[in-house]
Amino acid sequence: MREEQIREALTAHWRASAAGDLDAEHDIYDDDVICDYPQSGERIAGRINLQALRSHHPDKPSGFDVRRIQGEGNLWVTEYSIAYTGRAAYTVSIMEFRNGKVVHETQYFSDPFEAPVWRSRWVQPIA
């Protein structure tokens, strides 16, 4: 699969995720995909289980913002944020492709936090 095709597949995946279209969202995954959530120590094995888990999430996202998609070859990273009940979760998704499908994904989630005042003279705020 060429890199522009992977980028198109990722764009369609994130668009479907934002729209809540579970079937289109999970089309990118291989049937035997492994998805890891290192922060909670969980592994989801198989596209069917991944889609079922996501379809049972108690809160539907109220906002979804892809900041950037970067990659080459079979390894791609997406930085994005998801808003649940008005609070953003900053997320990084690392996807490994084989034969045009994602075979492994690792997702990291981070809550926002206040910047310490002591470093304000060296930083600029970002949106």
Domains defined for the chain, CATH in brackets: 3-111 (3.10.450.50)
Give tens-digit pLDDT for 1-17.
699 999 999 999 999 99
Give tens-digit pLDDT for 75-101.
999 999 998 887 889 999 999 999 999
pLDDT at position 71 over 80: yes
Average pLDDT, the chain: 93
Structure tokens at 6: 């992977």
Q: Which residue reads 């070859």 in tokens?
A: 73
- The distance of Cα 75 from the centroid of its chain, to the nearest Å, equals 14
Q: Which residue reads 């890199």 in tokens?
A: 3
CA atoms within 13 A on the CB side of 95: 27
The residue among 21, 110, 3 whose CA lies nearest residue 60 is: 21
User: Which pTM was predicted?
Assistant: 0.90
